Amino acid sequence: MNVWHFSLLMAVFSFIASASPQQDQALFKQHYEKLFPQLSLNDYADGIYALDEIARGSWQTIEEFPPYELAIEQGETLFNTPFKNDKHYSDCLPNKGLAISHLYPLWDRTQNKVITLALAINQCRKKNNEAPLPYQKGEIAQLLAHIAFTSRGKLIDIKIPESAPLALAAYEQGKQYYYQRRGQLNFSCSSCHVQNAGKKIRADLLSPSLGHTSNWPTYRLKWGEIGTLHHRIIGCHKQIRAEIPTAQSDALRHLEYFLSFMSNGIPFNGPSTRK
């Protein structure tokens, strides 16, 4: 990292305590623009494959017959299967539940909290007297895959209402969580994905945080199945030997809110395949 990049990074860290979300976002993107000048904003939707040409070739070959196709089909079947009361997911999700992944998480003024799409799905189920689905994999990931597929190409567009102080507080909590060190290895999210983005950890390149929420749910070759964003974040906590948060807890929903806002303007391209 050259002197300019280091200075910008220090500016990010010193500024995060007082910056507005829009200022955070501008500095965040500016850091990556200088670090990876060859990339456009759209490129970040491809994660580490935007940086690793060899891995990108293999990934593109896999994407010709993607392993998540079955999950999309299963999700569509689940989505169109009526509840016991003959209602559907389309009856309680915006836009009938289609092409909405890029708008989540969102701030719900009625509930006064951050609502992720996974949480919205389970709230819809509860409203229709159905049992909630586990949040890390399985049917929830299949439903998210179907909805994500209908959302492809839409630009991430997360709102933090200026007239909702609690929304800003949730965003700030997500930002604090992102930069806070934790676990036996004393890492933060930013340790890997801001400070060391593009560098190797063992045999793998560390991906930039921009676009981290654009490709979910994801079929990870390591998992052998499709899983949710919170499943992956929990895996990160395990790797640094930190206390394991609960999927869809306030902490992880607020973290997703912060990360998604940082990625505004990046095309949504889930579901996807990752190593």
CB 238 within 8 A of CB 125: no
Q: Angle at the Cα of 19 (from 17 to 20), degrees rounded to 5?
A: 130
Question: What SS3 state is found at 245?
Answer: coil
- Active-site residue identified among 92, 189, 192, 236: 236
Determine the Cα–Cα distance for residues 137 and 274; give it in Å rounded to an integer: 15
Q: Which of 76, 91, 203 is nearest to 145 (CA)?
A: 76
Q: For residues 196-230, b (16+ Cβ closer than 10 Å) or e, as one string?
A: ebbeeeeeebbbbbbbbbbbbbbbbeeeebbbbbb
Axis crossing angle, helix 3-15 with helix 21-35, rounded to the nearest 10: 160
- For 87-106, b/e burial (b = at least 16 CB within 10 A) is ebbeebbeeebbbbbbbbbb
Can you read off the two tokens belonging to residue 237? 């906590």
236 is catalytic: yes
Dihedral of alpha carbons 230, 232, 233, 237, sign: positive
- Known catalytic residues are 236
